[in-house]
Chain A
Amino acid sequence: MSLRTAVAHRNLLYLLSMKELRTRYRKSILGWGWSLLNPISQTLIYSFVFLIVFDAPTPVGDPSGLETFPLYFLSGLLPFQFFSMSVTTSIGVVEGNSSLIKKVAFPHEHLVFSVIVAQVITLLIELGVLVVALIIFGQMAIPWFFASLPLVGLLMVFTTGIAFALSAANVFFRDINYLWGIVAQILFYSSPILYTPDLIANDTLRALTNWGPLGSFVRAFHEMYYDGRMPGLGRWAHLTVIAFGTFAVGAWIFNRLSPRFAEEM
């Protein structure tokens, strides 16, 4: 597997991604509406919990001056959802295409790539909606949308690495699928999505939340969309190392295991 095969089979990648997109909301009345309704409903629920049940102070955007919890929440939730949905779907797609893997020789990694491509298209649409919401609340976020594209790219690389590792391992141990459901929950609550890191008193815990792989991505999205400032060089360097490191490990695992998919499924 390499970028070269990905380019050589770009047609397959394109068609698999289209299939992924077209068949996602089949037989549902709202169809693509669900991809927006889902984050909106989550925002409402968590805003209620955060603002009313816990009566926590709304984070203030610096320098944007925003003081709207739902927007803070959404700018962290969207990248997280991209990540968790991509990994969940990748695990399912590799498992679900066993008949194809057993009968046809084709680059298996395209199953994972196609999921990532389909999910990133969803993410970009959702970020577009977030930008509209931010503008309504007085924050001119259109430049930040474009500035965040390299960040989206790094998130894709990172997510692909995890998706590779877990979707390949799941062929051998179906527990991965269930285990991932739990891990995704832990990652959600340990990332500063429905709280701000400075609400954490413990120094070590705060640092972990701020600089844990996923927390770091979430913080970078906060900084761009909610705060309206460029993340520091340290953040960028950190994310780049995490993204490519994870990708290298994930791709290595996938490459090692994928020749045995056909006989293990």
Chain B
Amino acid sequence: MAAMTNSGGAALTVDGVSKTFRVHHERSNSLKQFIAARGRNRFDEFYALRDVSFEIPEGQAFGVIGHNGSGKSTLLKCMAGILRPNTGRIDVHKRMSALLELGAGFHPDLTGRDNVFLNAAILGMSRPEIAKRFDEIVAFSGLEQFIDTPVKAYSSGMYVRLAFAVAINVDPEMLLIDEILAVGDVTFQQKCMEKFVDFREEGRTLVLVTHDLASVRNFCDRAVWLEHGRLVDAGPPADLVDRYTESMLADPDAAKAVEGARRGSGEIRVDRVEMLVDGQRVFRIRTGDRVTFRLHYSARERVRNPVFAVKIGALGGALVTQPCTRDTQQVPAWIEGSGVVDVEMDAIPLLKGPHVVHTEITGFGRQHVFDHIQNAVRFDVVTGTPDESAGMVTFHPRWMIDGDGVAPHSEMFD
């Protein structure tokens, strides 16, 4: 549907855009300092965007991905007209609405009704337009009962719902969205998502700036990838997300070694833990990867019948698995000196999110603890195969649906 309504025109063109910020060494926020510095502030130019060019085709869902600090938000603010690029130009050919922060213009002392009118006016709507859509906005927010209450009495959830309801009903031809899919409760998020799908089907243009690779992969027709303010790559989202993920896996900065808490009697200890995929040390893994956890140990003295264990779970959540060498009857008679213990796992079923490994070396009875490291390694699981939008692990589901017309790879949005 979206593809069919695409008339080939551009909804927005970004042409050679660069944006610098001044990083002040001594910020003169007062006249005294300014005059003392003779009008010259000492600062460095920091390139948030460097010569970025691309085109957003009309009627498509367009994704912008990149790490924190890659310039995503600056780009979005330039597109929204909040920041002015230093060089280059941005041409907006459609009536646009940007959702950067919900309820930015709300005044706590005004009622929900007044704030709807004010916020919609800030977003560029005329009075008759707002009046026409007012009931729709209130219905979408589900706040009919509270619409004449000052918004300072609202819960944060109510606040966000009303703000989103206004923003989405401004009726733009193009919508810029910055990471706001994560607001409200699950039901409301679902409602937002449905609204975005409607938007697409009506042939409007959506621009999504997000960390959430899954939503870019599932939702977008095209995406660009920013890194250090430069456009690294552009293309269909599935390939782009794959390439982006590859680059993340190789990025050592991603290793977030949490200072582990160690306990135990210490005759034998785990010195460090590595994660390996295809023999390469990695810091992020994908769902479905074959992963080896390598425990480097050293023993001060000869240790009899040591049992090695790893415990893997969601960060701050439940343990998902805790295999140990006694379960597989691989307990050596004794160990001394140093060496490595590998535990290899086929097709890791963990779904995306932060995870943690704890390690443990105990005696055969598992009562005496030689060494236990809480949070030995923190790692992220990123979108792999299969991908599921919620849940903790995948059981590699295969769906079978009666009837015709549902091919296994049918893309519902097309």
A contact set with B: CB distance below 8 Å: 9, 11-12, 14-16, 18-19, 22-23, 26, 97, 99-106, 173-176, 179, 259-260, 262-263
Contacts and interface: CB of A to CB of B under 8 A. Distances in A.
Nearest to B111: A22
A77 B117 CA distance: 35
A173 B104 contact: no
A105 B98 contact: yes
Contacts of B126: 11
Interface residues on B, range: 20 to 34
Contacts of A263: 21, 83
Interface of B is mostly: loop
Contacts of B80: 104-105
A19 B118 contact: yes
B77 A262 contact: yes
Contacts of A260: 84
A26 B107 CA distance: 12
B257 interface: no
Nearest to B104: A103
Contacts of B121: 9, 11-12, 14-16
Interface stretch (B30-38, B229-237, B262-270): B30-38
B104 A174 contact: no
A105 B81 contact: yes
9 closest pairs, A vs B, by CB? A105-B81, A103-B104, A12-B121, A103-B101, A259-B84, A175-B31, A11-B127, A103-B100, A15-B118
Contact of A105 (B30, B31, B82, B117): B82
B110 interface: yes
A176 B32 CA distance: 11
Contacts of B123: 104, 106
Contacts of A259: 84
Contacts of A22: 109-110, 114
A234 to B, nearest CB: 37
A14 B120 CA distance: 13
B43 to A, nearest CB: 12
Interface of A is mostly: helix
Contacts of B34: 173
A174 B114 CA distance: 31
B104 A262 contact: no
B107 A23 contact: yes
A83 B117 CA distance: 29
A9 B125 CA distance: 9
A46 to B, nearest CB: 32
Contacts of B104: 99-100, 102-104
Contacts of B320: none
Given A15-B117, A262-B77, A106 B124 contact: yes
A101 to B, nearest CB: 8
B328 interface: no
B369 to A, nearest CB: 51
A11 B116 CA distance: 13
Contacts of B125: 11
Contacts of B31: 173, 175-176, 179
B122 A12 contact: yes
Given A16-B118, A19-B114, A104-B122, A174 B83 contact: no
A252 to B, nearest CB: 17
A75 to B, nearest CB: 34
Nearest to A258: B84
A217 to B, nearest CB: 28
22 contacts: A9-B121, A11-B125, A11-B127, A99-B101, A100-B104, A100-B122, A102-B82, A102-B104, A104-B80, A104-B82, A104-B104, A105-B80, A105-B81, A105-B82, A106-B122, A173-B28, A173-B29, A173-B34, A176-B31, A179-B31, A260-B84, A263-B83
